[in-house]
Every structure is written in structure tokens, then in C-alpha cells.
Structure 1
Amino acid sequence: MSDTGFKLRLTQQANFQFLVEFLDTEIPPITTDEPPPLGENAGPNPSRMLAAAVANCLAASLMFALKKFKNEPDPVTVEVDVQMTRNEAKRLRVGAVDVAIKLGKPGAAFEHLDRVLAQFEDFCVVTQSVRDGFEVNVAVRDSEDVLLKG
């Protein structure tokens, strides 16, 4: 990703459905939509996209940090639990995002794991950008379901 930014275009397709185009890449467009009663669930809504972005960024940052020390964490799986809340004005907001990352190997198989776990979140652009707005809780488990972080 460029340090200077990127460009998107959203074009309404029908009702609450938008075609999202990534203008500076060859990434194929996606459709976003709201769930009923507003939309038809023809694609993820913005809250789901935000949660996916947080989780994907954390997983990629963790994988990068592990691979930097020649570790192979594959396969990595991530589960996300999003809590929606209402603010003082009764407006719906993302209240918290719980991200559970599971590595494909036991914790003992990884070199420099303590160092990796201590710093990988700092390199996640999305998570660090949204943490001022809502809580992001992260847990990392190995293939034997041992809690490594969180």
C-alpha cells in the first residue's frame, strides 16, 4: 500500500447497494449493502467491512512479524465478534471488536514469539487508526488452543 493514500469510488446500484471500485489497482469491485429492512443483504455493510478490515490487518501484521523470524504460522484463522451499542444520542455505533486469531502450529514451534506478540499490533494500520473510536480486543491462540496473548 502506498504511504500517500489510495482512491475508491462508490456508485449507488439500487436502494442501499453500492458498487465499490478500487481506482488505483486491479482489484475487482465489490458490492456493499445494508441488511433488511433497509437493504437486501446483497453484500457486506460498512460495519462488517470495518470489522473485516480490523481482523485482516491484525492477522496480516501477525503473519508478517512471524515470517520476519522465518516462522510459518499457516494456516491462520480469525474469528471476529462485534458488539454494537448506542451512544448518548441513541445512534448505533460499533462498541467493541473482539478478534480471536488462531495459529496453525503450537506456540513452542515459533522463534521469538514473545517479541512478535508484544509488537505486531503496533504495525496494524487499521486497528491503530480506529482504536480511539472503539475498543479492539485481541487474543492469539496456537493450534493446541493455548492462549498466547490476550
Structure 2
Amino acid sequence: MANPAIDIKLQLIENYKFEIDFGEFGQMVTDEHEPVGHGEGPGPSQLLATAVANCLAASLMFAIRKFKGDPGQVWARVSGDPERVDGRLRITNLAVELHLGQPAASIDKLERVLEQFEDFCVVTQSVRSGIDVAVTVLDSDGQVLNT
């Protein structure tokens, strides 16, 4: 199976608001936050953080399912604070929490999963050279499974 090429169209609507066309997956509107834009949609920084968390969650599910496990209802939270670097705002770090929908004891080969799942995440591994990405995995009981 070949990896699909990335082909997304952005069209300026007004000010800093864009319509993003994902082709068969539809459209969405993005906008910079005030004072630059009007905050009428997620901004590029939010989309970047979302892409990292989404990719990590999918990679975790893939790694668990590879060993015939059931991750349950997975959910994620990502946070980060833009910082000034050489006078310009930059995203220097993101903290991603991945929450499994099952207790750790019910997931076979979990230690092995935790050792390898981040390597499956194309987005995180692509941005890590410039952004520190801290990943925490918790089971359904709130137990931290990695450090």
C-alpha cells in the first residue's frame, strides 16, 4: 500500500481566515487568533498540536492491535505554550496525554507496545527535531504506563 501524497488547497477568505479543502474529506475554516485574526476557527498552531496528538493516538492503537489487543475507547489531550525564540513566537514543546480505555493488565504485550508505538507516528517523528514532544500514556484506571 503506497502512502498517499499530501495535496491540500487553502483559499484566503478574508483577513487571516482560510478555507482548507481536503478534497473528498471536506472543508474547514482556520483563522489566526486575535489580535491578528478573529479566531473564527482553529489556528495553524492548534492544527499542528492536533496532528501530533492524533498521530500518536493512532500509532498507539496500531501497536496494541498489532498484538491483537483492544485499546478500548482511546482519547488524547495535547497542550503547549508558544514561546518567544529570537523575538518570534515558536512552538517549542507539546505535552501529549494518551488515555487508554482499558486497564493496563488487560492489554497483552503492553511493555513492548510502549517501547515502539512512538516510532510509528510519522507526524511526531517529523517535528521532533524542532519541537520537544513529551508523551504520557495512562490506562483507564489513571495509572501512568510510561515515563
Q: Work out whether the TM-score is over 0.5.
A: yes
Query: Hey, which bits of structure 1, 4+ residues long, moved more than 4 A?
Result: none
Q: Which of 115, 118, 123 does residue 120 from structure 2 map onto?
A: 123
Gaps of 5+ in 2: none
- What residue in structure 2 maps to residue 82 of structure 1? 80
Percentage of identical aligned residues: 47
Structure 1 counterpart of 2:99, which letter? K
TM-score of the two chains, using structure 2 as the length reference: 0.96
Pairs within 5 Å for 1:59-138: 59-88=57-86, 90-138=87-135
- What residue in structure 1 maps to residue 20 of structure 2? 20
Separation of aligned partners in 2, 1:63 and 1:4: 21
Higher fraction of strand: 1
Deviations 1:61-85 (A, max 9, x none): 0001111111111211111111211
The change in CA–CA distance for 1:146 and 1:125 in structure 2 (over 3 A counts) is: same
Deviations 1:28-79 (A, max 9, x none): 1111101111111111100000000000000000001111111111211111
TM-score of the two chains, using structure 1 as the length reference: 0.94
Deviates more, 1:132-141 or 1:77-86: 77-86
- What residue in structure 2 maps to residue 7 of structure 1? 7
Cα-Cα RMSD: 1.3
